[in-house]
Amino acid sequence: MKLNREALKRPRPSSPCGHRNWAEEARAAIRAVHETLPADCTLEARTAAVDAAFPFVRRAHYPYKVWCRERRQYLDRCITAERGHGAKIKGTRP
């Protein structure tokens, strides 16, 4: 029995519009939530909405790590817009 190379690769998220990587899938989910939220939404409500939109099966391994990175970047941008330049989420990396 001979396996082809594609069968041994890490599974990618399935997407109806073609091939996406984990980061693109996470950004698409966050973008969809962002478009539905009102402009005056609080940070707590925004964080809860983004957390509820987790697009992958389990919160584990590499997909979850990518999700956390994209979530942090999105919320950092929201905080900067809300509170001004230089504001960050407490406990996040620069």
Tell me, what's the pLDDT at 25? 94
Tell me, what's the pLDDT at 80? 85
Residue 19 to residue 52: CA distance in whole angstroms: 24
Tell whether 94 is covered by a domain.
no
Tell whether 91 is covered by a domain.
no
Tell me, what's the pLDDT at 27? 95
Is the pTM of the predicted complex or chain greater than 0.75?
A: no
Tell whether 45 is covered by a domain.
yes
Residue 55 to residue 22: CA distance in whole angstroms: 10
C-alpha torsion sign, points 75, 81, 83, 86? positive
Q: Which residues of the chain are under the pLDDT cut of 70? A: 1-19, 85-94
Tell whether 93 is covered by a domain.
no
Count of domains observed in the chain: 1
Tell whether 13 is covered by a domain.
no
3-class DSSP string for 13-77? CCCCCCCCCHHHHHHHHHHHHHHHCCCCCCHHHHHHHHHHCCCCCCCCHHHHHHHHHHHHHHHHH
